[in-house]
Amino acid sequence: MTPWLSLSGAAVVPLPIGRGASVSKDPTEQHLNHQGTAGVIARPPVLFLVALLLGLALDRLLPVAGLGAGLVRWISAGVLIFSGVALAAAGIRDFTRAGTPVPTNEPTRALVTTGMHGRTRNPIYLGMFLLYGGIGLGTGSPWALILVLPLAITIRYGVVAREEAYLELRFGDAYRQYKVRVRRWV
């Protein structure tokens, strides 16, 4: 792994970006902002919505073979949507009970390690992926399903990596121990 991708012992290498300005490759420095938040690239629900709308638009502009109709597709979509909403709701409930805000643009007040967060570190994002997949399947949108991969990469590196660096700085050893005990996804 290159030093600037590693969260432990990352080298700080300034990159020239203009007159007298530089950006550090150290992810912990990059992702904390002046408001004390993780500094994610965009609010995750917005990223999911943009990907879904883009997928639906691409279905009209660049049609590809459809997913076909059928009871199995509808049942599968329903199960994904229901599971996604339930998982995200459980994660949101965990945050609410701990008294910490869900929105990524507000500072975290508490490290949540119980409930669904005791099984996966990102139940809300997992729920959003299931919901997204269910909607893509239910609408018969091949492009929405194709865009899951770029969306997953964006969420992983533009949101989750920044949140992890932020939480590690904010909660130190408690967060590092939590990362050892609980998987990032499933």
pLDDT tens-place string over residues 63-121: 988 777 789 999 999 999 999 999 999 999 999 999 999 999 999 999 999 999 999 99
**Stated pTM of the model:** 0.81
In which element (H, E) is residue 18 found? strand 15-18
Q: How far apart are CA 149 and CA 161, in angstroms?
A: 16
In which element (H, E) is residue 22 found? strand 21-23
| Full residue range of the structural domain in which residue 21 is found | 1-31
Are 62 and 122 members of one domain?
Answer: yes
Are 121 and 158 members of one domain?
Answer: yes
Are 27 and 87 members of one domain?
Answer: no
Number of domains in the chain: 2
Are 20 and 104 members of one domain?
Answer: no
Using an 8 Å Cβ cutoff, are 126 and 87 in contact?
yes
Question: What are the structure tokens assigned to 164, written together?
Answer: 């992890």
CA-nearest of 129, 125, 126 to 145 is 129
Using an 8 Å Cβ cutoff, are 114 and 94 in contact?
yes
Are 3 and 82 members of one domain?
Answer: no
Examine residue 186 and state whether it is found in any structural domain, yes or no. no
Are 53 and 13 members of one domain?
Answer: no
Are 14 and 77 members of one domain?
Answer: no
pLDDT digits (tens, 9 = 90+) for 111-160: 999 999 999 999 999 999 999 999 999 999 999 999 999 999 999 999 99
Q: How far apart are CA 104 and CA 159, in angstroms?
A: 9
